[in-house]
């Protein structure tokens, strides 16, 4: 929400809550979900659902149970998407979501993001928090074309920051976001 496309990104409520919870200091994750209030036989269901892409070494076998999926979700080793924007890889100083990234206090961090998309992109935001405030670093991606892929490498000031995550949005307000990576000052 808001689903009326009145803002340049969807999910403001949950993403702002994720930022607030991250600032509280205990690692949290936000999963993609959908509220389906009424389903009729002719309703298109999957086109309107968020998708959680899990980073697993292999697809778990049903007979082995759900533990690998649950561990991956709990550890934040995933990204969430509306489907049209994908983030196959995201690292901060070489560490992926669900891991802690070492940073030098008063320095920058190397943020790497691999992207794939359907509609032209609008922008990305690198979101960080210091335990009290949230900072957003806007990255203009309006020069992209339909059906593309690109790697983005950024140097981001992480002075006094505790965590970092990325959001990417296209011109139709479809998007994807990563889970926070916790920054550990040396």
Supply the pLDDT for residue 3: 63
Question: Across residues 144-152, what is the average pLDDT?
Answer: 98
Residue (of 178, 184, 183, 174) closest to 18 by Cα position: 178
Higher-pLDDT residue of 11, 86: 86
The label of the residue with tokens 């533990």 reads 67
The secondary structure of residue 48, as a DSSP letter, is: G
Supply the pLDDT for residue 139: 97
Phi, psi (degrees; rounded to nearest 5) at 67: -55, -40
- Considering all CA atoms of the chain, what is the largest pairwise distance in Å, rounded to the nearest integer? 57
The residues, ordered by sequence, that sit 6+ positions from 154 with a Cβ below 8 Å of its Cβ are 110, 111, 113, 126, 137, 139
Question: Across residues 164-170, what is the average pLDDT?
Answer: 97
Q: In which band, very low, low, confident or very high, does the pLDDT at 179 lie, cut at 50, 70 and 90?
A: very high
Do residues 81 and 51 touch, judged by C-beta distance below 8 A? Answer: yes
Q: What is the pLDDT of residues 81-106, one digit of tens each?
A: 999 999 999 999 999 998 999 999 88
pLDDT score of 4 more than 70: no
Q: What is the pLDDT of residues 18-33, one digit of tens each?
A: 999 999 988 899 999 8
Rounded to whole angstroms, the Cα distance separating 103 from 155 reads 12
The secondary structure of residue 157, as a DSSP letter, is: E
Supply the pLDDT for residue 7: 73
């Amino acid at each position: 929400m808001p689903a009326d496309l009145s803002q340049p990104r969807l999910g403001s409520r949950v993403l702002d809550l994720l930022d607030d919870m991250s600032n509280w200091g205990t690692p949290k994750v936000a999963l993609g979900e959908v509220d389906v209030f009424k389903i009729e036989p002719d309703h298109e269901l999957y086109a309107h659902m968020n998708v959680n892409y899990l980073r697993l070494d292999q697809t778990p076998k049903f007979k082995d149970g759900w533990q690998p999926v649950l561990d991956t979700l709990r550890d934040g080793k995933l990204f969430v998407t509306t489907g049209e924007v994908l983030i196959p890889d995201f690292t901060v100083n070489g560490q992926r979501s669900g891991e802690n990234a070492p940073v030098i206090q008063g320095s920058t961090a190397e943020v790497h993001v691999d992207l794939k998309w359907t509609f032209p992109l609008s922008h990305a935001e690198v979101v960080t928090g210091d335990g009290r405030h949230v900072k957003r670093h806007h990255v203009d991606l309006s020069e992209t074309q339909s059906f593309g892929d690109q790697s983005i490498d950024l140097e981001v000031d992480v002075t006094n920051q505790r965590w970092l995550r990325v959001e990417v949005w296209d011109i139709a307000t479809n998007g994807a976001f990563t889970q926070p990576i916790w920054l550990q000052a040396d």
